[in-house]
Structures are given as C-alpha cells and as structure tokens.
Structure 1
Amino acid sequence: MDVNEVLQFVDRVVFEQTGKHLDDVQRAIVEGTWQRQTYDNIAHECHVNKNYASDVGAELWQLLSQALGEDIKKTNFRSTLERVYIKSSQVIGLGNHHNFHFCTQTFNQHNTNNRETNIKSQSPYYDLTLTPKIINFYNRKSELKTLLSLILDNNIRLISVLGLSGIGKTTLVKRWVDLNLDEFEVIIWKSLKYPKLLELLIDDLLNTCKQELKVTRDDNLKQLFDVFTDKKCLIILDDVHHIFTRGEFSGQYQSVYQDYQNFFKLITETEHQSHLILISQEQCAEMECLDEELYPIKALKLSGLENGEILSGMGLKTDQDSGLKLIEKYQGNPMYLKDVAVLIKDVFDGNVAEFLAEDSLVITKEMRSHFNQLFNRLSPVEQKIVVELSKFDQPVSREELRQHLDLSSIDLINGLQSLQQRYLVSKIKTDPILFNLSLLFQEYLRTIEKNSINP
C-alpha cells in the first residue's frame, strides 16, 4: 500500500461509520503516522498544537478499531492496516469500492471468529519495564528511518547505537521501539548499568519468554537461540560500556564479562530471525564490521542536534539566531543544553542573548562531574593525549603530537583510535590528517589546569 491507498481506505471506513469524509487534520495524522512521524511533527505540518493532534488521533484510532475489529493504535497502525487491507481484499475484493459496507461487515465477522486463535499464535512477550519515559523527542527522522531500514528491510542482526552521553541514544531507540512494537513477537529491554554475568542475562531472557531453564549454561544458550529462530525477537542492551574496563583503551571487556564478546559474535554468525541493539558510549570490535555482506553488523553513530526545536519547553528567552548559537556552542547535546538552560534561567533570568554576550564556554557543575567520570575512564595514554590536545587552539597533526608527547608510535596511534571510538576526538581528512578535541572537553581540561585541580 502507498500513502494514497491508505488515505482512500481509511476515508472509506470513516465515511461508512460517520457519514463524513476525513478532514484536513485527520488526513495529516493518517499520512504522518504511515510515514512514522511523531505527533509533534504532524502538528507542526498542519499548524495545530500537539495535544489537539494527539486527541484527534486517539478518536480516529478508536473509530478504526471499532469498524475493523482490531486494536489499532498509532504504534501499530501501519502493520495492522496492511494486514487488514490484504485480508479484506481477499474476503470481498476491494476493487468494488461501492460494496465497502459489505466488505467491512464480512471482515469484522471473520476477524471476530479468529481473534483468539491469532493472539495465541502470536504469543507476544514484552519486557519494557526498564525503558525510559520519553518526555520530548526531537528531530531524528533520518536516524529512525536508518534503524527501520537496518532492522526491518535489511535484516541486520547486530546494531550498535553509539555516541557521547546525553546525545539521545536511548531516547532514539525507545522511540523506534514504540513505533514498531507490532513487528516483533518478543521485545526485551535490559540495562547493563549494573552489569550481570552473561549466564544470568540469558536466564532472564528465557524467563521472559516463558521458557523452562536447562541444567547447563550451554543448553540455556542453545535454547535462547532456538527462541531467536522460532520467534522474531528484538533485544536491547543499554549502557553496554559498563562491561568494559576503566583505565584501558575503549571496548576492552572486563574479564568477568568476556563471555559477552562471544555472545555478540554468535548473534551475527548464527542463522535466526532476531535482532540485538547495543547502546553504548564506547565502541568495541564487535560493534562494527568492514565486510557488512559477510557479517550482518551495523553501527549508527549519533551526532548533536541542530534544530532549534530542542530548546522548546526549557523556559528560555531566545530568538532563532541566539538559540542556534547556543545549540552550536554546546554541540547539540540535549543533556548539556538542559544543564546550561538551568544556569541561564538562574543567573541570566533565561535571557540567552545576555548569556552569549559573555563570550565564554561555561562548563556547569553537572558537566564537570560528567567529564570527571569520563576522564577517569580513559587509559593513561589517552589522558596524556587529551591533555596535550587541550593546549592547542587548532587541530593538530599526529606528527606534531608525537613531538610534544613521550609516547611510542604504537601507543599514540592506538590512543587516537580509542579516543575517536569514545567520540572525544574527531579526525579531519586533510593532508596531513588532523585531530581535533571536543571543544567542551577541551574547556573542561583547561579549567581543571587553571584551578590546578587533578580530574
């Protein structure tokens, strides 16, 4: 079905039930939902507020649910309607649009008789108790489409969502899951912020799927992959970087969690129909693959947001120009912007232009605490590199860094790679290649040095 067929189909259902055709807002909601837009985006495009669009949408889903005998929601609208359309076409032939009333009645009867059987055959198992509540979701349309393409269109089995803390990784994945609940028989979200041994994680996954545990770990692992084969599962592991070792290069597993490495490899090397999403601030070898045709692996690396929408609801006094300058200054990171918004309200009465007139990059106490933790995760080699990089106002070549640091060539190369995998250093493809330290992290290090306080 394309969007025009969807609009025609829904319009006929609504007209049959109410005697009225879809109005402009209803049409925008149907079209926007089909294209997986949020209510924020739909409301903006049809010039109404979000709450009104949400209320109209709720009434429309209820009407469609009653008419078609399905529990239709925004999250399952697309998949449900495609299935309903196909079944109703088979029942009566929707080419005869004049006989749609008979088609609806016939389909409702067919659906009622088989609803219990369908529910039993699908046997959905969801464990989303640890998912975060999304208050605001900003413009990540392209990233949502990328996840959709990777998982549903290209069947990539291992996907990592990577980026700095606060950049929106967890929020993005949660939004995608909300929009695609109906695509999976099993969805389980686990956080590794307080990590557990792999065998305990496997036990948790099997328990959620109502599977009886076996005697040995290997038998439980085999049983889990049997579930991955029999059912379309989506497993999300958040805060994966907590199974890596502090004080080492990025992505080095703690010895007690080394089994995770083999588990991630099995996900890509074993034939099944399920998917694993890893959310992490650090990249490991299993999160990216040079030969994507050989192993179904893909990394989605998030950068900062650029749209001024991110400042809405923060209570700031700003115009478009000052708002965009503030976003650029704090790298479009929602967490950093939220912290600095509190400071601007407390000290500058919310006036962004007055804050920007200070012409300085302010590191809030919350940011400083976060950067302290981040610095302490770095290896000694990485710490030396970032401290040296912070002394330069311009990007620096590897050779220039070598001249200022007492490091071997191998340590310098590995350190620069690791810092890029932590998203603290970026590479500029010039001749020679240059390396640039994150401006906020640079300011943090300079502030520490001025105050003569060790991180």
Structure 2
Amino acid sequence: MDIKEVLQFADELVCVQTGKHLDDIQDTVIKGVWQGHTYEEIAAQCNRSESHVRDVGYKLWQILSEQLNEDINKRNFRSVLSRLQITRSPIIIQNNKHQNNTHNFNCYSYNSNKNTKNNDNEETSSHYLTLSPKITHFYGRETELQTLSHWLINQNNRLISVLGLPGIGKTTLVKHFIDLNLQQFDVVIWKSIKLSHSLDNILTEILTFTKSNNTENNKLTQLLNLLNQKRCLIILDDIQEIFIPGQLAGKYKPEYKDYKTFFAKITEIEHQSSLILISQEQCQEMICIDEELYPVKCLELQGLDNTDILKTQKLKDEENWLNLIKLYEGNPAYLQRIAILIRNIFQCRVSEFLSDGLLLTEDMKYQLNELFNRLSTVEQQITLELSKYNQPVSREHLRESLSLSSMDLINGLQSLNRRYLVTPIEGEKTLFNLSPVFREYVKIDS
C-alpha cells in the first residue's frame, strides 16, 4: 500500500466509527507514523504539543483496532496493515453506534493471516482489565515508557517494580504501556491488593479466569505452569498494602509472608511471563537481588517537568507554570488538586497563587497524613528534625540533634529514601533533603 491508500482506508474506517472523516491532525499523524516519525517530529509538523498528538494517535489506534478486530498501536500500525493483505474492492461495514445506518464504501477488503476465533468473547477473554484505570491523558513519560517496553518485550524480565510517591503516575504509566502493547501477551491480568489482600484468593481468581484451575497441584505450581505455557503479564497494584505500617519500609505483615515466596519463585523459575509490582515502597529483599544475575528490574518514577500536564487545567500565566510544577515536585496528583484551588480561589492566576508560597489542600493533607502514619517512630523523628530546615542536612547534624543510635539513624534514612521522601545529595559530605511538600505537611502537623 502507498500512503494515499493508507489514508483512504483509515479515513473510511474512522468515518464508520465516528461519522466524521479524518481531520488535518489525524491525517498528519497517520502519515507521520506510516513514515516512521516520532510523535515529537509529528507535533512539530502540525504545530501542536506532543501530548496532543499522542492523544490523537491513541484514539486513532483504538478506532482502527475496533474496526479491524486487531490490536493496533503506533509501533505495529504499518506491519499490521501490511499483514492484512488489503486489496481494493467494495465492502459493507455496519456501524455499531448507529444501528439503523449501513455504510457502503468503495474502499478495501482485508484478509488477515492471524488465527481468529469465532467467538468474540473467547478472543478477548485472556485480558482481565476491569480493575485497571482508564487513561485519558498521558504526559511526559516517554523515556520511562520505552524503558518498561524494553524490559518487558525485548528482555522479558520476570519481575519489575514500578515505584514512587502516591500520585506520581505509577499506575498511569503501567496502564498506558498495556494499552499500547496488549497484543504482545497471551494473558494480561490486573489485580489491586487493596481489593484483595490474600495471595491465595488472587491465585484462585487468576487460575479460574484462565481456566487453569485443577486439583492435581497446589495453586502456586499451577500458576507457574501457566506462566511457562503462555506469555502472561500480571500486574499487582498497591503492593504497599501487604507491608506493616509503623515499621521500616518493605516489611511484610505476618499474614502476607507468602508473597515473599511468590516473588522469589517468579524470579528463580524459568518461564516466559512477567509480573509488575506497583508500590509506594520496595520489598526489602528485592534490594539485595543482583539484577545482573536475576531477571529483576526497578523503575523509580520522579516528578514531571513538562508543562503539558497543566494545559487542560485552564490556568493563566503560562510563564509561571514551570515554577508551579517545581514547587509541587512535578507530582500529577498534587498539581491537579492545586489547579482546582487556583481556578476556584485565584481566578486561574498562577502568579497570584505563587505569591502565597506552598499551600496544601485538605485532601493533600489527608493523603500525606496517611503517608506519615506509615512511617516508623525513627523515621518520624528524622522527618520532624529535617522539616526544621529548608536546605539539605548532614547525617552528622542529625546524629547530634537526635537521640538515635548510628544504626537506627542509618536504617531510618535508608527507609525514608525507599519511600521517596528523603533524597541523598552527593558532595564533600552526603546531605539529606526532605521532600518540600512533605516538609510543609510535617511543619503544619507538628
């Protein structure tokens, strides 16, 4: 197919789904992707933001996927259309959104080489994503997305932790990866620990869903057999729920120590599948695993520094947006709540809001209070001391100011680092900096 044929074919499918022909930006996105351009390059061509172009592309792939009964994304768009062996002939397509309208186009018929199943439910039954979030916007995580894709698709790492503060975008990143790469896996299952803490229950649900449940072996053995027979991607969200609050980061509650065995088996036994753990804190034993010897990776998310995240918030003073983002550490959840405050109280004026310094909304305080309550007594003492200073503090200063043993202080600092609340800063002496937003909360609460 040449680009003209591709555009006509896509235009007719989009028209069936939406009742509208391709607009100029959709046209440019399809041309650019067909020619191998990045979203950044396409955005420059049509004078739009990269995030807007990405959203347009994402919606296009959804439409084409539904119309062609194929999982289509930016990476496989050209190869899928080539594989479909599209030839020109009149076809009739029924528009599911308007049952009374049948569209007759002089467009293209296609013959897929892919083995399809007669039952539509059977074809999609291996994807259990009802508990996963719907992603409407995705900003500034292209590098992390590429890293995740490389680890899962190219390297086939068996256990990946996606880590970071609440609201930083962990779940959004993983779900966006799945939306783009669903076709790479035979089975995709999303489970939330908040909704089902018991590992036994989770294993039962997975085995039942995949029709792998039998009485010959225990559930863990059955699951490992499934992971070997099919390429599965299993996501466990909110892993921090199985850790003890009030203790150092990553210590299992006694009733959930079976997860420790489960994670170890995932890394040690040969299979073709992957498990993603989404958490605010890392499992302690995972830190000691040598990534050179085991197929294990950790992706730690930092704040965003992309003003695109504010473009849908209807704020004024765009020249101050980056200052606002830096003030709230690029945390999308913080910024969304603050944007609402700026719209309601400051008439959308960012400059006026910034003149009052760092403010915390009530729902932010509630979330930060939950985070503070998860800290051990030692960690709480350290954060209270660090909150007195607006600059990084040395370990020596903390030791002089706090009645803690050297070991307790070191373990506390390490645990706070694993929670992404304290950052070590290298120099002549290592200094420790408390998250500015968390510092403000601790000042208010104390």
Fold equivalence (TM over 0.5): yes
Within-5 A mapping of 1:129-148: 129-148=130-149
Counterpart residue identity of residue 200, structure 1 = N
Verify the 8 A CA contact 2:251 2:284 in the aligned structure 1: no
TM-aligned CA deviation for residue 30 of structure 1 = 5.1
1:404 match: 401
Aligned residues: 416
1:365 match: 362
Cα separation, 1, equivalents of 2:402 and 2:61: 65
TM-aligned CA deviation for residue 444 of structure 1 = 1.2
Within-5 A mapping of 1:6-85: 11=4, 13=6, 25-29=26-30, 31-32=32-33, 46-47=46-47, 50=52, 54=56, 58=60, 62=64, 70-72=68-70, 74-75=72-73, 78-79=75-76, 81-82=78-79, 85=82
Within-5 A mapping of 1:403-442: 403-442=400-439
Verify the 8 A CA contact 2:307 2:321 in the aligned structure 1: yes
Corresponding residue SS for 1:346: helix
1:159 match: 160
Cα separation, 1, equivalents of 2:117 and 2:47: 41
TM-aligned CA deviation for residue 429 of structure 1 = 1.0
Cα RMSD over matched residues?
A: 3.6
Cα separation, 2, equivalents of 1:122 and 1:289: 40
State the Cα deviation string for residues 218-247 of structure 1 (Å, max 9, x = none).
622111111101111000000010010000
Cα separation, 2, equivalents of 1:424 and 1:59: 38
Counterpart residue identity of residue 200, structure 2 = E
TM-aligned CA deviation for residue 101 of structure 1 = 6.9
Cα separation, 2, equivalents of 1:314 and 1:113: 43
Verify the 8 A CA contact 1:33 1:78 in the aligned structure 2: no
Q: 1:57 to 1:435 in 2, by over 3 A?
A: closer
Q: 1:59 to 1:35 in 2, by over 3 A?
A: closer
2:314 match: 315
Counterpart residue identity of residue 335, structure 1 = A
Counterpart residue identity of residue 138, structure 2 = F
Verify the 8 A CA contact 1:123 1:185 in the aligned structure 2: no
Verify the 8 A CA contact 2:379 2:412 in the aligned structure 1: yes
Q: 1:52 to 1:84 in 2, by over 3 A?
A: closer
Counterpart residue identity of residue 136, structure 2 = I
Cα separation, 1, equivalents of 2:167 and 2:146: 21
The answer on 1:340 being equivalent to 2:338 is yes
Q: 1:230 to 1:311 in 2, by over 3 A?
A: same
Q: 1:367 to 1:123 in 2, by over 3 A?
A: closer
Q: 1:339 to 1:35 in 2, by over 3 A?
A: farther
Verify the 8 A CA contact 2:159 2:296 in the aligned structure 1: yes
Cα separation, 2, equivalents of 1:11 and 1:326: 45
TM-score under structure 2 normalisation? 0.82
TM-aligned CA deviation for residue 143 of structure 1 = 0.8
1:452 match: none
Unaligned 5+ residue runs, structure 2?
A: 13-22, 90-107
Going by fraction, where is helix more abundant, 1 or 2? 1
TM-score under structure 1 normalisation? 0.81
Q: 1:349 to 1:14 in 2, by over 3 A?
A: closer
1:295 match: 294
Corresponding residue SS for 1:324: helix
Q: 1:144 to 1:289 in 2, by over 3 A?
A: farther
